[in-house]
Amino acid sequence: MTRILLVEDEELVGTMVRMNLESEGHEVVWLRDAEAAWQTLASSAGRFDLVLLDIALPGMSGLDLLEKLRAAELGTPVLMLTARSDVSTKVAALDHGADDYLTKPFDVPELVARVKAMIRRSQAEREIPTDQLVHIGEYEIDLRARRAASREGAVTLSDKEVRLLQLFLSSEGETLKRADILDIVWGMDAWPSERTVDNFILRLRKLFELDHTQPRHFLTVRGLGYRFVH
């Protein structure tokens, strides 16, 4: 069960968000102002998997709260809710340490997808300690150092390659859709196409499969996406 803290003063928006996230199986705590949210997070930030934070709030603004959270080194992922056409606010949100943002009015499926992607991203990061050495077949990967002994010899992996590996390792046996992989690994970075995912998989196969044309670890699930098995 994931716990989400919703900070939103608009009744209609708050009601809609809470209802939809609860129907997806999340527990939602809804507070109407940033001061109350600060009190709650300062005493139990670890209780929450995600904060959905409106910017325009009575009293302390969402941006001020975000700044306080990051200054206090509370790293709970934050999805900001911003007003459409307000580019400078979005930039400020990211500068203040927001993990993602959504412009109002937003579609419910989009909100649900973003929340799902953010939770998976933070769980993937939590579940695989980055100092861990992992093995795929006969190859060894040092995720923290981003170094690997691969079929092509010693290589340095890019951040995205490491994130993709972490995602696969934390969802072994599960079919991952290309769109979900993009969401989780690439997040807000200038949306690449699903072809990008295919290219990265090909690269991982060349590094960590004995024969990249006969993959045994990074498997294609036809019409759906990819599945990793050890």
Total binding residues toward Ca ion, as defined by CB under 5 A: 3
CA distance 51 to 42: 13
Residue 40 host element (H or E): helix 34-44
Identified binder of Ca ion from the candidate list 2, 3, 9, 219, rule CB under 5 A:
9
Identified binder of Ca ion from the candidate list 16, 56, 108, 113, rule CB under 5 A:
56
Under the binding rule (CB under 5 A), the answer on residue 54 touching Ca ion is yes
Identify which of residues 37 and 124 has a Cβ nearer to Ca ion in the complex.
Answer: 37
Q: How far is the CB of 77 from Ca ion (least distance, A)?
A: 20
Identify which of residues 55 and 184 has a Cβ nearer to Ca ion in the complex.
Answer: 55
Name the one range near Ca ion by CB under 5 A: 48-56, 135-143, 144-152, 210-218: 48-56
Strand partners, 101: 80
Name the one range near Ca ion by CB under 5 A: 6-14, 19-27, 89-97, 164-172: 6-14
- Nearest-CA neighbor of 169 among 183, 185, 154, 158? 185
Beta strands in the chain (DSSP E): 3-7, 27-31, 50-54, 78-83, 100-104, 133-136, 139-142, 147-150, 153-156, 175-177, 218-221, 225-228
Per CB under 5 A, residues contacting Ca ion are 9, 54, 56
